[in-house]
Amino acid sequence: MSVPLALSFPAADGYVLHGHVWAHAQPCASRPVVVVNPATAVLSRYYARFAAYLHAAGCEVLTYDYRGIGGSRPARLRGFRAGWIEWGSLDFEGALREVQRRFAGQPILVAAHSAGGLALGLAPSNHLVTRAFTMGAQFAHWRDYAPGQRLGMWWKWHVLMPALTACLGYFPGRRLGWMEDAPAGVVEDWTARAPRFEAVARRGGERVTARMRAQWLTQCAQPRADLLALSISDDPFAGDAAIERLLAYFTGCRRWRLHVRPAQIGVPAIGHFAFFHDRFADTLWPIARDWLLHGACPPEFAATPWPGETPPALSRSPAPAMCAASAPPG
């Protein structure tokens, strides 16, 4: 696996974020740069092998931790105010500015997992994104959970999680073995009771104004990217209604849906998180690679265009790399 460079860069408000970059030694103006937006309370290093895979395919790749998570966690998380709006409008915005500075003029792509897809709509500079791939991207509304698991998930994520957060001032997910620790604001966003994000969105712990909600809806319409939204049939968080509700915000994008069943690739389960595990490097990762690099799907997977939009082409083999791949310096 290629060795990345550790880096720090400012979010849009100056908060220092930490991550890694996989870069090629020789610059190339047409080489794409992929920003990986993590899921809620998932460390950026979880995506390291996926990032190395995209790097080997000819991309520059940036992974990073949102504020309050992993390398971007403050010394004291109790009472630290950060939610999904901050992660998108400040942190993802900072990541876009960083790749624009570091790889000036190169096309910017996004691979987003879960709430990372929501972040795509929150960044003021999201118009820079030319192509995006999302996996299980949605706004977490409990009625969208898988019917057979909904009650248990509701108790876990919408009763126990906010109760513990109210007592401790943050969510101790690592101690419970559920996920990483998370700021209280993220828990407030996750446990909101309305199905639409703008109805319950908070910034700095306060409900956003009608003007801010309108601004966010306008920002979601900014990108003119080709966007592929992947869903997995045994994902308990991201059912069809949840995926399509988020996808509907991106009215400026050309949008496609791809739904995959574990049986299609000969495995019993995939779920919400396993897509980024390297055991799927030969079966699922080519979906992301081919889409990000070529706007195409492998022939064994048929994407469905959003109503009224042009179907994507099928690619029987990856197109040649736009730039010669080279090992990173040092």
Q: How many domains in the chain?
A: 1
pLDDT of residue 315: 45
Percent of the chain with pLDDT over 90: 78
Percent of the chain with pLDDT over 70: 91
pLDDT of residue 196: 78
Report yes or no on 20 lying in a domain.
yes
Residue 169 above 70 pLDDT? Answer: yes
pLDDT of residue 191: 87
Contact 195, 143 (CB under 8 A): yes
Report yes or no on 306 lying in a domain.
yes
Residue 318 binned pLDDT confidence (cut-offs 50, 70, 90): very low
Per-residue model confidence as pLDDT tens digits over 29-58:
999 999 999 999 999 999 999 999 999 999
The DSSP element (H or E) to which 296 belongs, if any, is: strand 296-297
Report yes or no on 165 lying in a domain.
yes
Per-residue model confidence as pLDDT tens digits over 185-220:
999 888 887 777 776 666 665 666 777 778 888 888
pLDDT of residue 302: 87
Residue 311 above 70 pLDDT? Answer: no
Report yes or no on 239 lying in a domain.
yes
pLDDT of residue 204: 61
pLDDT of residue 317: 38
Report yes or no on 202 lying in a domain.
yes
Instruction: Kindly give the residue spans of alpha helices, DSSP state H, lying in 207-328.
Output: 210-220, 240-247, 285-294
* CATH number of the domain bearing residue 295: 3.40.50.1820
Helix axes 48-56, 285-294, angle to 10 degrees: 50
Residue 1 binned pLDDT confidence (cut-offs 50, 70, 90): low
Report yes or no on 187 lying in a domain.
yes
Report yes or no on 10 lying in a domain.
yes
Question: Count of residues for the chain?
Answer: 330
- For tokens 């995926």, name the residue: 243
Residue 101 binned pLDDT confidence (cut-offs 50, 70, 90): very high
Contact 237, 139 (CB under 8 A): no
Per-residue model confidence as pLDDT tens digits over 284-296:
999 999 999 999 9
Average pLDDT across the chain, whole number: 90
Per-residue model confidence as pLDDT tens digits over 105-164:
999 999 999 999 999 999 999 999 999 999 999 987 888 899 999 999 999 999 999 999
Residue 320 binned pLDDT confidence (cut-offs 50, 70, 90): very low
- Give the separation between CA 242 and CA 247, rounded to whole angstroms: 9
Give the global pTM.
Answer: 0.92
- Mean pLDDT confidence for 92-115: 97
- Give the separation between CA 19 and CA 62, rounded to whole angstroms: 7
**Where in the sequence is the domain holding 153, given as residue range(s)?**
5-314
- Mean pLDDT confidence for 59-84: 96
pLDDT of residue 198: 73
State whether the Cα torsion 301-220-225-36 is positive or negative. Answer: negative
pLDDT of residue 312: 58
Structure tokens at 204: 């700095």
- Give the separation between CA 251 and CA 249, rounded to whole angstroms: 6
Report yes or no on 83 lying in a domain.
yes
